[in-house]
């Protein structure tokens, strides 16, 4: 008859150490009423502590929390984004002009004018009405006599060449948040509606409100329909679109960098100042608007541009013009 190995007999560990056999043979005690009560009390205390922990942590955190926004599923809301220096670094018209120059739409002197306008725009950090009118007239003179379809086709290529890499990732993420919440997102810009529509489509947005250039038989006349979509005109466009779409403006959001867009920002319940100029920054702080800034060296513009920076900007614009001229040859 086989006997168990000494190392596996009751009361001996594999190393040979003796311990009371009762540790293995003692029967489990049945649960008593008191033990059941103790278990239930422990479970209830555990549940209560996990429910109270977030509230306690929030009470200890003195930082004010922004309410959840955008509200998922609120289809009475939409978002309206300015384009230049809000969604895209610089002016869309300038980038479009560079692309047209590369395609021999106009001469070097016109490019120099566009370059100076862009330098002014970037250093000033705001939209001067007279400056914007000059940009508008330059653009209209360039496209006059060309077919709308031709400009749209080239606009797709120009977006890839000059604009795609200049989109602010932070602003794009804000727009995507509205889309993810099931809301429509519109660009609202003084740029031509054709250019704005291309940019909106490439970013996956709903659509665009932009300046409408007159065309007859699909050919640009060099005139505008009405006036540029700028300042108060943007607010009127947003108001009209909201009425047509059945939107509640108090639920909507608007985003801009410029004080010229205060009328549009003031229309909505959720105004945002994005990369704001000094006037908009002051207004936003006074009215408790939300602020976002995705620029670098933003204080340099507000405090004053050193002479070296101006020289550098001019040199950069000249270098770009020279480079494009060489490519043309």
Handedness of CA 96, 101, 104, 109 (dihedral sign): positive
Whether a cis peptide bond, with omega within 30° of 0, leads into 70 is yes
Q: Which of 82, 257, 261, 277 is labelled catalytic? A: 82
- Residue 63 has φ and ψ, to the nearest 5°, of -70, 125
Q: Is there a contact between 209 and 200 (Cβ–Cβ < 8 Å)? A: no
> Bridge partners of 12?
18
Q: Which of 7, 61, 84, 257 is labelled catalytic? A: 84
- Residue 223 has φ and ψ, to the nearest 5°, of -120, 165
- Residue 69 has φ and ψ, to the nearest 5°, of -155, 140
* Helix/strand/coil for 129: helix
> Bridge partners of 185?
79
The question of whether 84 is a catalytic residue gets the answer yes
Q: Which long-range contacts (CB under 8 A, 24 or more apart) does 274-282 make?
A: 274/82, 274/86, 274/168, 274/171, 274/174, 275/85, 275/86, 275/168, 277/125, 277/126, 278/125, 278/126, 278/302, 279/126, 280/256
Report CA-CA distances (Å) from 322 to 222, 280, 325. 28, 36, 5
Active site positions, annotated: 82, 84
């Amino acid at each position: 008859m086989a006997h168990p190995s000494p190392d596996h007999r009751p009361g001996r560990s594999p190393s040979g150490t003796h311990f009371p056999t009762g540790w293995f043979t003692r029967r489990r005690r049945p649960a008593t009423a008191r033990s059941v009560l103790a278990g239930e009390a422990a479970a209830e205390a555990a549940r209560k502590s996990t429910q109270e922990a977030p509230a306690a942590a929030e009470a200890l955190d003195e930082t004010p929390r922004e309410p959840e926004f955008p509200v998922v599923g609120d289809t009475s809301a939409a978002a309206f984004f300015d384009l230049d220096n809000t969604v895209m670094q610089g002016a869309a018209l300038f980038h479009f002009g560079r692309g047209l120059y590369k395609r021999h739409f106009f001469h070097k002197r016109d490019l120099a004018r566009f370059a100076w306008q862009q330098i002014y725009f970037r250093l000033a950090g705001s939209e001067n009405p007279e400056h914007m009118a000059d940009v508008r007239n330059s653009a209209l003179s360039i496209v006059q006599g060309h077919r709308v379809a031709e400009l749209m086709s080239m606009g797709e290529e120009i977006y890839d060449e000059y604009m795609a890499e200049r989109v602010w990732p932070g602003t794009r993420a804000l727009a995507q948040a509205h889309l993810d919440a099931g809301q429509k997102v519109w660009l609202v810009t003084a740029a031509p509606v054709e250019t704005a529509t291309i940019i909106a489509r490439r970013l996956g947005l709903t659509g665009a409100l932009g300046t409408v250039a007159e065309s007859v038989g699909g050919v640009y006349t060099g005139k505008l329909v009405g006036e540029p979509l700028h300042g108060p005109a943007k607010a009127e466009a947003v108001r009209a679109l909201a009425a047509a779409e059945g939107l509640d403006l108090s639920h909507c959001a608007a985003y801009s960098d410029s004080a010229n867009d205060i009328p549009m920002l003031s229309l909505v319940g959720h105004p945002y100042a994005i990369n704001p100029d000094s006037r908009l920054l002051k207004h936003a702080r006074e009215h408790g608007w939300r602020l976002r800034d995705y620029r670098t060296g933003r204080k340099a513009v507000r405090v004053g541009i050193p002479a070296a920076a101006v020289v550098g900007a001019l040199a950069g614009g000249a270098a770009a013009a020279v480079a494009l001229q060489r490519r043309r040859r």
